[in-house]
Structure 1
Amino acid sequence: MDEAVRLESLTKTYSSGANPVTALREVTMAFPRGSFTAIMGPSGSGKSTLLQCAAGLDRPTSGRVSVDGTDLSTLNETQLTELRRERTGFIFQSFNLLPSLTAAQNVSLPLRLAGRKPKREAIARALALVGLAEKAGSRPGQLSGGQQQRVAIARALVSRPAVLFADEPTGALDLHTGRELLDTLRKLAGPPTGDGYAATELADRPTTIVMVTHDPNVAAYADRVVFLADGVLAGGLERPTAEAVAARMTSLAVS
Structure 2
Amino acid sequence: MADRAVSLRQLTRRYGTGPGSVTALDGVSLDFHHGTFTAVMGPSGSGKSTLLQCAAGLDRPTSGSVTVAGTELTGLSETRLTLLRRRHIGFVFQTFNLLPSLTAEQNVGLPLRLAGRRPPSALVREVLERVGLGGRRRHRPSELSGGQQQRVALARALITRPQVLFGDEPTGALDSATSREVLVLLRDMVSAEGLTLVMVTHDPVAASYADRVVFLVDGRLTGEVLGASAQDIAGRMAKLEATAC
TM over 0.5: yes
In structure 2, the partner of 1:211 is: 199
Task: Quote the offset at 1:185 in angstroms.
Answer: 1.4
Distance across 2 between alignment mates of 1:88 and 1:171: 21
In structure 2, the partner of 1:194 is: none
In structure 2, the partner of 1:202 is: none
| TM norm structure 2 | 0.93
Task: Quote the offset at 1:83 in angstroms.
Answer: 0.8
RMSD: 1.7
Task: Quote the offset at 1:254 in angstroms.
Answer: 1.0
- Kept in 2, the 8 Å contact 1:160–1:207? The answer is no
- Kept in 2, the 8 Å contact 1:86–1:114? The answer is no
Task: Establish whether residue 9 from structure 1 lines up as the match of residue 10 from structure 2.
Answer: yes
Task: Quote the offset at 1:25 in angstroms.
Answer: 0.1
Task: Quote the offset at 1:119 in angstroms.
Answer: 2.6
Task: Quote the offset at 1:149 in angstroms.
Answer: 2.2
Q: Which aligned pairs between 1:48-127 and structure 2 lie closer than 5 A?
A: 48-127=49-128
Q: Which aligned pairs between 1:227-238 and structure 2 lie closer than 5 A?
A: 227-238=215-226
In structure 2, the partner of 1:253 is: 241
Task: Quote the offset at 1:77 in angstroms.
Answer: 0.2
Task: Establish whether residue 188 from structure 1 lines up as the match of residue 171 from structure 2.
Answer: no
Task: Quote the offset at 1:118 in angstroms.
Answer: 2.3
| TM norm structure 1 | 0.89
Task: Quote the offset at 1:38 in angstroms.
Answer: 0.2
Distance across 2 between alignment mates of 1:139 and 1:7: 39
Give the counterpart letter for 2:173 in structure 1. Answer: A
Q: SS where residue 247 of structure 1 aligns?
A: helix
- For structure 2, the residue ranges without an aligned partner over 5 or more in a row are none
Q: SS where residue 112 of structure 1 aligns?
A: helix
In structure 1, the partner of 2:147 is: 146
Q: SS where residue 74 of structure 1 aligns?
A: coil
- Kept in 2, the 8 Å contact 1:72–1:80? The answer is yes
Task: Quote the offset at 1:16 in angstroms.
Answer: 6.6
- Kept in 2, the 8 Å contact 1:46–1:230? The answer is yes
Distance across 1 between alignment mates of 2:183 and 2:143: 25
Deviation digits for residues 102-155 of structure 1 (CA, Å, limit 9, x no counterpart): 110110111223344323232223223333333211222333433322211111
Classify 1:17/1:147 alpha carbon distance in 2 versus 1 (closer, same or farther; 3 Å).
farther
Classify 1:19/1:59 alpha carbon distance in 2 versus 1 (closer, same or farther; 3 Å).
same
Distance across 2 between alignment mates of 1:98 and 1:113: 14
- Kept in 1, the 8 Å contact 2:95–2:173? The answer is no
Distance across 1 between alignment mates of 2:180 and 2:8: 30
Matched residue count: 242
Deviation digits for residues 7-46 of structure 1 (CA, Å, limit 9, x no counterpart): 0100000117740010000000100111110000000000
Give the counterpart letter for 2:179 in structure 1. Answer: G
- Kept in 1, the 8 Å contact 2:40–2:216? The answer is yes
Distance across 1 between alignment mates of 2:99 and 2:64: 35
In structure 2, the partner of 1:223 is: 211
Structure 1 vs Structure 2: percent identity of aligned residues? 60
Deviation digits for residues 65-86 of structure 1 (CA, Å, limit 9, x no counterpart): 0111110113100110111111
Give the counterpart letter for 2:170 in structure 1. Answer: P
